[in-house]
Structure 1
């Protein structure tokens, strides 16, 4: 890296919890961040699910270095034992943190492309010595470009929900039926949203925490609005792990979600349809939707469909970078085996940092939920540890970058795939599932520490 490049900022994409924590960690290391946010305020994606309560407490979703940055502003940390909603998280922590960063944060700045200055992804010559060039669409779609010494992409996956189709593609007719399909947990406190679902028959597709939340919300609605009923559609069968760890989960609120979903089924507010992979969405003569399975099953008509089958990363604007991504999960190649739900029971995850997050393209990192690609089981504290390690590496402190201490709570589930809407892996280790939390140096033989949910 040449002298002129060293004077450039580190561009951080996204003002969610991990992007803002990355900025705080960079400042700690005397590196200058420039945080780019597509929305008009901090944590735009989190605000979209402001009505949903986290299953982690305040003590688990505030980054320690960010807390230090907030202290001089008079910020008062909420009670660490309580559970914030998405709205609480945005208003009481993320927006104040963005405000503390001041001019280091730019809003209404949509990143449309990232590359090496003067080098497309084909060119080798003198590549690592060139700064990154970041193209933006600003207010009024005004085009702009800025240069950076490094890029940390913390843009998440919220903007790209997975479709209903069991093949990973949209089911036939899914796009045409978009007026009756939602990909978000409904905010039933909103009168317009409540009216949309009240007294209706609603299909919920998915088997993770978001689906649990939707089922619980709809069960409460059914108690007040006669005729409201949910049809819970799972691509796998129901087993002992379907509803999560319950009382064995070390995140009690996460365990309670599964129990609430079970209560919705047991109470008759939802009927489960198992082993159903949606192939097509059709309309009947009344405009209601009929879901057709890959096995030819046709379900009774529903008024609305809520698709909660996970998310996937948007890689379009980083397409000119040389990323090393796993062919299945679209996660960094070295990280993917550690988080692959096809291989690990209990949603186990190992402590990881800059080595697992590195790519063939030097000094570019996908962090936070985006680093997990299509895998679930992400926790905010995992992302905070990621950016601590990345910032240390960019500052030249490799010893600190490779020293990761991470304790994650157990799910209490054996053979469960968490939010992953696929058949769960089995525990073939012969020992206990969800091993005790561990501390290790990155690059050492992995020692499992448990995780689950996001």
Structure 2
């Protein structure tokens, strides 16, 4: 089996970093990417500025590989997704060259000659990766180990609060988006709804709030499922990533200025459509009417269909790798105190198979690029037989400045550290103090 390559699925930040680590260790690697170029998913949100700075966005082995070609690492500022691709990820893929195969969709992974049920001789068999190329031709590729870094970009969560599409959501799909918008000028003068409480939703709210400032007839309503907005605005001065803190501060300011109407405890049950207008209806019967467009930015979930013939262990609540679920569960904390998530924590019942990157976090929203780089450093060391390096913890995460999980989902309880400060929230056009 040692003569077979390690197959990495996905040529995004973690997939390319894994390939760099394996190449540095002299391990044969093949990266399979469904997009037409490197980091295809990142390119789709290239207009969005990251809140991590350049030093947190490049991997050590990748830097060493690139620097051998005369490349210099950017040292300051927070790039957009497009800049991340153009100045780092695309050059890295260029150095790896033929080790990366584009327009290749992985359809399944299994042990050779054995489905999920069979025990006999399982560990001694190589992995077989089933894939389809750009021309629709099916092929199989043997592998000594497989690293799934395929991400979650292709499977956004719906607007419906119970995890399924709301009634009418599919019918109204032409007026619903699941990605952060770029140019929102065509929505000037319209009523726009944003559903979600994470950074993607905040990005969208900021773009739409600026549109309201330019076009006063525009109305933006921000719907939160949770009962309090306390943690939505981030940790402020306590956040060690200034750009992340700035997101929340800017969003709070727009609400205070009346540019955005924030509604809490609103769990979408139905989206009805009459002519061109939508009405968003909550589980408790409240309605937001006269809506032209909805941005449902409620996170993503991993697609595990291609893993159905492997024995894997995922957390039943988060769909995250079981070994790291307790560290990242947003119901428990959001403190930025996540421990190392290396080969030991990421190990699966199927020896030699690892899920890394944002996909390893399942539905948890707290992933940072540097966490993924530490994952692949440890996992690739384990695959290469360097168990001492695999066991090391080289991860230091910046604090979020927020302590507390989503215990405030049904009430106004907030931080696990201290009582939350009151926040001024606008419901409709009437200011209401909560907290």
If the length of structure 2 is used for normalisation, what is the TM-score?
A: 0.93
Q: Deviations over 1:322-380 (max 9, x none)?
A: 00111111111111111111122425311120111011111100000000011111000
Structure 2 equivalent of residue 13 of structure 1: 9
2:257 aligns with one of 237, 248, 267 = 267
Selected match of 1:370 from 342, 355, 359: 359
1:50-449 equivalences in 2 (<5 Å): 50-78=46-74, 80-188=75-183, 193-195=184-186, 197-284=187-274, 286-346=275-335, 348-416=337-405, 428=416
Q: Does the 8 A contact of 2:332 with 2:406 survive in 1? A: no
Secondary structure of 1:301's counterpart equals strand
Does the 8 Å CA contact 2:265/2:410 hold for their aligned counterparts? no
Report the Cα distance in structure 1 between the residues aligned to 2:140 and 2:131, rounded to whole angstroms.
6
Deviation of 1:75 after TM superposition, in Å, equals 1.7
1:31 aligns with 2:22: no
In 2, Cα distance between equivalents of 1:81 and 1:158: 27
Please give the per-residue CA displacement for 1:86-113, whole angstroms capped at 9, x wherever unaligned: 0000111101100100110000001111
Deviation (angstroms), 1:272: 0.9
Quick one: distance in 1 between partners of 2:185 and 2:358?
30
Return closer, same or farther for 1:226/1:428 CA change in 2, 3 Å cut-off: closer
Task: State the alpha-carbon separation in 2 of the partners of residues 247 and 34 from structure 1.
Answer: 43
Q: Which runs of 5+ in 2 are unaligned?
A: 419-435
Structure 1 pair 18/274, CA: closer, same or farther in 2 (3 Å)?
same
Distance 1:256 1:233 in 2: 20
Report how far residue 421 of structure 1 moved. Answer: 8.4
Q: Which residue of 2 aligns with 1:444?
A: none
Conserved in 2, the CA contact under 8 Å of 1:329 and 1:372?
Answer: yes
SS across alignment from 1:313 = coil
Distance 1:267 1:217 in 2: 15
Q: TM-score, normalised by structure 1?
A: 0.89
The answer to whether the 8 A contact 2:403-2:417 is kept is no
Is the deviation greater in 100-109 or in 240-249?
Answer: 240-249
In the alignment, the residues of structure 1 paired with residue 210 and residue 146 of structure 2 have an alpha-carbon distance, to the nearest angstrom, of 44
Aligned length in residues: 419
Structure 1 pair 218–138 and aligned structure 2 pair: CA distance change class (3 A): same
CA contact (8 A) 2:404 2:417 kept: no
Following TM superposition, by how much is the alpha carbon of 1:247 offset from its aligned partner in structure 2, in angstroms? 2.2
How much does 1:220 deviate? Answer: 1.2
CA contact (8 A) 1:171 1:281 kept: yes
Which residue in 1 is equivalent to 2:422? Answer: none
What CA distance in whole angstroms lies between the structure 2 residues aligned with 1:72 and 1:254?
A: 33
Q: Distance in 1 between matches of 2:151 and 2:329?
A: 18
**2:167–2:271 contact (8 Å) kept in structure 1:** yes
Deviation track 1:12-53 (CA, whole Å, cap 9, x = no partner) reads: 001110000000111122211100100110000000000000
- My pick for the range that moved more, 331-340 or 220-229, is 220-229
For structure 1, the 5+ residue unaligned runs are: 431-454
Give, in whole Å, the separation in 2 of the partners of 1:18 and 1:423.
Answer: 37
Q: Distance in 1 between matches of 2:116 and 2:15?
A: 25
Q: Contact (CA 8 Å) 2:333, 2:403: kept in 1 or not?
A: no
Q: Is the 8 A contact 2:228 2:412 kept in 1?
A: no
Question: Kindly tell me: are residues 325 and 170 of structure 1, through their superposed partners in 2, closer, same or farther at Cα, counting changes over 3 Å?
Answer: same
The separation in 1 between residues aligned to 2:199 and 2:247, in whole angstroms, is 7
CA distance in 2, matches of 1:143, 1:227: 53
